[in-house]
Every structure is written in structure tokens, then in C-alpha cells.
Chains A and B, each alone.
Chain A
Amino acid sequence: MNNGKYGEFGGQYVPETLMREIINLERSYNFYKNDEKFNQELDFLLKTYAGRPSLLYFAKNMTKDLNGAKIYLKREDLNHTGSHKINNVLGQALLAKYMGKKRIIAETGAGQHGVATATAAALLNLECEIFMGEEDIKRQALNVYRMNLLGAKVNSVKTGTGTLKDAVSEAMREWTKRVDDTLYVLGSVMGPHPYPMIVRDFQSIISKEAREEILKVEGKLPNAVIACVGGGSNAMGMFYNFISDKNVQLIGAEAAGLGIETEKHAASIAKGSVGIFHGMKSIFCQDKFGQIAPVYSISAGLDYPGIGPEHAYLHKTGRAKYVPVTDEEAVLAFEYLAKTEGIICAIESAHAVSEAIKLAGQMKKEDIIIVCLSGRGDKDVASIARYRGREIYE
């Protein structure tokens, strides 16, 4: 294995109190990932509970309208709980069960990972606590209630900027308090090793299916795959099985907020630098003294000041390209997809859709783009209405 390093990135920068459990987690994962019973059970849950495989949908209207490359949408929004997050959560919650844990904890930004974790906890009869920033709790009130309905306790995190990064910090703190009976179910391809690897493996089903499906339908590989990137889990899932297909462009759309020329963005690759935070060496938005910068995006799920270490590596080696997409561009793409294809996608995913719209027109008609539609947009409808000046609350 790579010992948790992706080139210079990755590693295990956590307090000593967590080290033994993190090593235990790695060992357990490496054992169960090859365990027949574990895999059968996970596979069964993914098919019968999460609704996999997810559709690869040919966006005919969009393709016609943009008059360029053929656009396919990988419909992770149709999964149970409405996003790709369930892929990873079922894997980790099942792992927790096999490891003999009684309780799982998780951070959440938009609430998608929190809802998915609370769902898996209800299904597998695990105690569940979610950490969510105070600001995000306001932005995503319905998801908070959803988690409560599912039996999870939601803790409001008031420290720092009251957003995703603070929720991650607080979940890590909570884990150091109760390490024996608890597994921290991390939601993205970030944090200390083995999380970037575990989450990537569980999410890689996205590109495994997409690759098989596109070969079946089109008889060839896509020219580009596009996904939005916060921490980067749906993007890593969408990229992974295409990494060795050198002719497939891998494109990550990161949140440029009000624009990367302003202070109000969450574009780690465009504006960040190498640092060490939340257990990993990677690329972060930070000041010259290494203080982590407050970040901003209309999308709570992309509102994170860093990116997973494997993405940092794909960026550094040039294998993947990361582009900034502003709030305004994402909202336009959100509205466009709704009108053109009848699909209301998550505002996170709309960042990827926006990039596809830009790119498609520059490509040939026989070219193919696959966009990962990481989540559905029900949770965002009210905030988009407010963005457009309609004072609607959930």
C-alpha cells in the first residue's frame, strides 16, 4: 500500500489518543474489505436499500441545446437519502458493526452526510451523533429535523466559523473522548489515513458503474468526467476507475463563491497552498502564518477550506484539473438543468453541471462528458429562491 501517502500528501496528523484506534480501523478495514460475508452484506444493502446501480442518464435536451459533446449524468441524486453519501456511509457503518462498535459519530455540512449517517445508524441499530456548524444548521434546518426523525442527536457547533470545518474539528474532539465504542464515520476523502482510502474505495462504485455503463451504451470511454469538489468524495468516486484511462480528462469543479478574486470563496486548489490540517497534508485556504482561512460558498457541502490528499496529488501531477465555479454560475446551472432536463440537482452538483455547460460547446459532437450528479436539490430550493429575491423559508 501507499502507507497513507499520495506523493507528499496524506499522512496521519492526529493526537496520540487517536493513533491506536486509527491503526485498528486500518487493520479492520483491510481485513473486512476482503471478507466474503462483509462484501455480500454491503452489496445487498447497496442494491436493495440504497438503490444501486444508479442510472447513467443521457441528457438529450441539454446535449441538443449546447450543440457539442454528448452529456451523460450519473444519477447519484436518485440514491436513497438523495446523494452519493450513502455509498460510503453504508460501508463505514457496516464496518463499525463488524468492528463491534455501538455508536457512530459524523460531521456534516449541507446535512447530506449527516442524514445518510443517521439513516445507516437507524438501519443497523447503532447510536448516532452528528456534529453540524451553527451556520449550517440555520441554512439546512430541514435536514436537522430529518436527522432527528432518524433518531440521531444533532450537536450544534458554535466555534470558529460555525461551518463544516468546525464540525469536523468537533467530531474529532468527540472521538478522542470516546474512542473505544465509537467509530467516526468521516464523510469525505479527507482526514488522516485510512479515511481518504476507505471513503475513496466505497465511493469508487460510482466510476466502476459509470465506466461499465458507458462502454455498454457508447462502446467507448468518455472524453471527460466532471464532479464538484469540496473535500472531494463524489469527485474521487467519479474519477477513480478512470485514472488509468489516460485519455479521459478528470475535472473537479470547486466553489468560487463570490469569485476567486474576492475573499469569499472555498477554492482550495485555485487559491490555497500546501499545509497540514485535520489529520492530513494537503492543500488548504490559509493565511501566511498557517491559520486556516474562513471560507464561503452558497453550497454548504463545498464550504470547506481544504481538499482530500489524493486530489492534491492528482492536481500536482496534472492528472486531474480543478476549476473554480462561482455561486452565480452554479445557480444558473441549477436553474438550467431544472428547465432543460426536469432535474433539480443539489447546488453542490450544479457546480459540476456549470463546468459541463462551458465545456460541451467547445467539444465535438462525438465526444462524451459524464457529469456526476452527486445529490438532489430539494434541500436547496428555499435558499435558491432567496438568492433570487423570493423570501421563502422551509
Chain B
Amino acid sequence: MSNAYFNENVFNNKKAFIPFLTAGYPSLADTERFILKMEEAGADLIEIGIPFSDPIAEGPVIQNASTVALKNGASLDKIFEMIENLRKKTNIPLAIMSYVNPLFKVGYDNFFKRCQGLDIKAVILPDVPYEEKGEIEEIASCYDIDIISFIAPTSNERIQKIAKDSRGFIYVVSSLGVTGTRDEITTDLNSINEIIKQTTPTKTAVGFGINNPIQAKEISKYCDGVIVGSAIIKIIDKLGSNSDEAIYNYVKEMKEAINS
């Protein structure tokens, strides 16, 4: 479908670096600044996480960030306002990562219309698998938004059908379990990538567990982009509102590593 947008703006002749952050952690003003820093450091697409009360696919790091963000008042309305401000300053490609209930509750049409107005082209829903995405995708496509498909280490015979119906890009889950940094990633990403590439021209980005440049470089051999979440949240855990420079350095280092 709209693979073209991502091919031209995110994965254009390079390995894409895709940082994630939880909106409103520790505050929405911080999130806005951090995103601009990420762009400056070379991020190709930024994944903005809508904090959810019960994030079942997250490890302790992002769970905690979500809890703090919600406590600090990062409601959906306020997050959209923050992105509105952000859009006055940058055109960087943005994706939204959310659990499905906040979308369902405010209404899919409402949610996607809001996203469209903010030039958001992809929505990532970790609790919506292939079997359930139909009704959501139909509405999202009316607003020119792609629902990103996941492929996991356990997908096996499911890989082809998921890849065939994928739009935007494919989120390849590096390891079993929830989000969070890992010392070692043992999944055979090479064979998963080969099956995907035989099936579809859609670009792939690998996430879950990636945290250092060496790891990122190794993994980037088997995909078109690398997604990092918990490692960035850990920086914010340590430095709070003063994370700007550390985030900048980290994103720059990771982007260079996967393109060296």
C-alpha cells in the first residue's frame, strides 16, 4: 500500500534507526525536546509510545515509564497536543505505538483522523495480531495510515501470510518475551528475514532487546532498520529531564554503527 512513504522517507538507501520513547516520560515537554534531539542525531522514524495502564508486551523498564507518564498526566489528548506543537518544528516521520484499547475507546475513526492531521503514517499495536487486524486496518487505510504487522521468533509458518499482507514496514520481534534490553539475541533472524524477503518487498525493522552498537550492527545485516526502546528509557531513568545530550549521543552512535 503506502510502502512508498516509508521507502522514501525512512529506509531510503540506508539502514534506518528507529528510537522509541514513552510519551510523557518524565513529562510531555521533555518528550517533545527528546524527539527533536533524536532527529538531530539522525533518527529516521520515531516511535511514540502512548502510555497504557497495563502494557502486557512490555518489560519492567517501559512498564515503569508508562506508569510514571500516566501519573504525570500524559492523557491521549495531551499527547496529541504535544505532537501538534512538535509538527510546527519538524516533519520527521512519526509512528504511534499503543495498546489497542485506547484507540478502541476513543473510536478508531477519531484516533486515525487525529493521526492523519498530524502526518503520522503508521500505528503499531502489539496486542493486535494478524487474525484481529482486519477491521482496524480497513478504517486506518481510509486515513492513509498503515497498521504495522509483527513477525515473532515463534511465527514459523505464519511468516508468509503476515508478510504478504504487510503494509508500511514489518516489525520483526528479535526474541521471545517482552521488551527490554538483552545481552544476547539467539533467534535465527537471518532465516526469518530470508522468508520475508522472498515474500514481500516491504521493509523490515527488528526490535526487542537491542541496546548496544555492536549488537545493532550485527542485527542490521538481517533487516532494513533497527528499533530501540528500553535502552533509551533507561537513559531517561537515569538523567530525567536532562537526558537531551545523552539521547543525542546514543542515537548518533547507534545510527552510525548500523551504517558503518
Q: Which residues of chain B have a CB within 8 Å of any CB of chain A?
A: 52-57, 59-60, 63, 67, 70, 75-77, 100-106, 126-132, 150-156, 158, 162, 173, 176-178
Partner of A179, one of B102, B129, B176: B176
Are B101 and A288 touching (Cβ within 8 A)?
no
Minimum C-beta distance from B201 to chain A (A): 21
Partner of B131, one of A12, A286, A291: A12
Residues of B within 8 A of A166 (CB): 54
A290 contacts partner chain B, Cβ-Cβ < 8 Å: yes
Partner of B102, one of A14, A17, A177, A290: A290
Minimum C-beta distance from B112 to chain A (A): 15
Are B131 and A177 touching (Cβ within 8 A)?
no
Are B150 and A16 touching (Cβ within 8 A)?
yes
Are A290 and B103 touching (Cβ within 8 A)?
yes
Beyond A11-B131, A12-B129, A17-B154, 6 additional pairs, beta carbon < 8 A? A17-B153, A176-B176, A274-B104, A279-B127, A286-B105, A289-B76
Q: A160 vs B60: C-alpha distance in the bound complex, in angstroms?
A: 11
Task: Evaluate whether A19 and B158 lie within 8 angstroms (CB atoms) in the complex, with A12-B131, A169-B54, A169-B56 already known.
Answer: yes
Minimum C-beta distance from B186 to chain A (A): 13
Q: Mark A161-184, 1 if CB is under 8 A from B, else 0.
A: 000011001001100111100000
Residues of A within 8 A of B67 (CB): 159-160
Residues of B within 8 A of A169 (CB): 54-56
Are A17 and B101 touching (Cβ within 8 A)?
no
Are A165 and B153 touching (Cβ within 8 A)?
no
Are A16 and B54 touching (Cβ within 8 A)?
no
Minimum C-beta distance from B166 to chain A (A): 12
Please count the residue pairs between chain A and chain B whose beta carbons lie under 8 angstroms apart in the complex. Answer: 117
Are A16 and B56 touching (Cβ within 8 A)?
no
Partner of A17, one of B130, B132, B152: B152
Interface residues on chain A, size class: 35 or more
Instruction: Look across to chain A and name the residue whose beta carbon is closest to the beta carbon of B74.
Output: A289
Residues of A within 8 A of B75 (CB): 289
Residues of B within 8 A of A219 (CB): none
Partner of A276, one of B53, B100, B162, B177: B100
Are A177 and B177 touching (Cβ within 8 A)?
yes
Partner of B53, one of A17, A176, A178, A291: A291
Are B153 and A276 touching (Cβ within 8 A)?
no
Q: A207 vs B215: C-alpha distance in the bound complex, in angstroms?
A: 56
Q: A93 vs B63: C-alpha distance in the bound complex, in angstroms?
A: 31
Are A177 and B54 touching (Cβ within 8 A)?
no
Are B57 and A275 touching (Cβ within 8 A)?
no
